[in-house]
Amino acid sequence: MKGLEKKRVVITAAATGIGRATAEAFLAAGARLHVCDVDSAGLAAFKASHPALGTTIADVSAEDQVDQLFKEAAETLGSIDVLVNNAGIAGPTANLEDCSPEDWRRTLAVNLDGAYLCARRAIPVMKRAQSGCIINLSSSAGIFGFARRTPYASAKWAIIGLTKSLALELGPFGIRVNAICPGPVEGARIERVIAAEAKASGRSPNEVRSTIVQFNALKTFVSPQDIANMILFLCSPAGARISGQALPVDGYTYTLGE
């Protein structure tokens, strides 16, 4: 991807999955990175393969840890051109009345508050530069309802509202804000979600997986690389006139079924 050389990029939850694929894609494009994760071992392994990578162990739902992340990112990068708010958790799989207040608050704290806390720290830096790009990770759950996934879906719908509102606030400063709405992404996390849904609904994991694929036009899951490709496009000169959008990368999920 052209035009990303020397861009200074902060990515949350980058030790594995979408975050790791996105970080590696930015590195391949010549960008400079500072990343965080709660997985210290995964973060150390990533840095071992990319010694110039800046890293911080941080839970994005904790304000003091986000403050430390951006302090260390400033030391590594000097400024910030791109923020990718990737951190998120699946939350509980249960009917709403069976979701504990603690699970509800934790799901929103990581998925929504984390994006707010990170954007809050990145925005003043981008305003000074009169340019920047923020990518928030929503989900197909931010477009459709998910039975037994209400805390997660609520947070992902809210991410789209955050994105559209910030795009209006920040456009006059040359800062673009977009959301990506992945469908089910291949990897360990979706396998945990499938197992939890199978248990809650009394179906087998294979039945749950088949249902997900059934209501997808391309009959497929997506890969972390698919999401990384869209993020890099939006942050590149090719995406320079795209802002305030919630863009599905999901093979066209047209209903979630039951």
| Nearest-10 Cα torsion for 147, 148, 151, 156 | -40
**Percent of the chain whose predicted confidence (pLDDT) is above 70:** 98
CB under 8 Å, gap of 24 or more: what pairs does 45-49 form?
45/15, 46/14, 46/15, 46/20
| Integer-rounded Cα radius of gyration of the chain | 18
Q: Which of 149, 218, 225, 135 is nearest to 181 (CA)?
A: 135
Higher confidence at residue 24 or residue 184?
Answer: 24
128-160 residue pLDDT tens: 999 999 999 999 999 988 899 999 999 999 999
Rounded Cα gap, residues 125 and 254, in angstroms? 39
Cβ atoms of 81 and 9 closer than 8 Å: yes
**Residue 197, CA atoms < 13 Å, CB-side half-sphere:** 23
Domains of the chain and any CATH numbers: 8-185+223-246 (3.40.50.720), 187-221 (no CATH)
Distance (Å, whole) CA 248 – CA 253: 9
Residue 15 and residue 256: Cα distance in Å, rounded?
29
pLDDT digits (tens, 9 = 90+) for 41-96: 999 999 999 999 999 999 999 999 999 999 999 999 999 999 999 999 999 999 99
Residue 56: what are its φ and ψ, rounded to 5°?
-140, 130
Q: Which pTM does this prediction carry?
A: 0.95
Does the structure show a pLDDT above 80 at 256?
no
Res. 30: pLDDT tops 90: yes
Half-sphere CA count of 74, side-chain side, radius 13 A? 11
> Which residues carry out catalysis?
152
The helix (run of H) or strand (run of E) holding residue 155 is helix 150-170
Question: Is 233 or 257 the better-scoring residue by pLDDT?
Answer: 233
Residue 20 scores a pLDDT above 50: yes
The closest alpha carbon to 62, from 106, 104, 124, belongs to 106
Tens digit of pLDDT for each residue in 183-216?
999 988 889 989 999 999 999 999 998 988 888 9
Question: What integer is the mean pLDDT of 242-247?
Answer: 98
In this structure, the chain runs to a length of 258
Q: Tokens for 59?
A: 């839970």
What is the reported pLDDT for 254?
A: 80
Query: CB 45: neighbour CB atoms within 10 A?
Result: 13
- Report which of 47, 48, 37 is spatially closest to residue 15, judged by C-alpha positions: 37
Q: With bands split at pLDDT 50, 70 and 90, how would you rate the model's confidence at 6?
A: very high
What is the per-residue pLDDT for 258?
47
**In angstroms, what CA-CA distances link 176 with 87, 125, 132, 139, 168?**
19, 14, 6, 19, 9
Share of the chain above pLDDT 90, in %: 89
- Secondary structure (3-state) at 45: helix
CB atoms within 10 A of CB 119: 19
Distance CA 101, CA 89 (A): 16
* pLDDT above 80 (res 114): yes
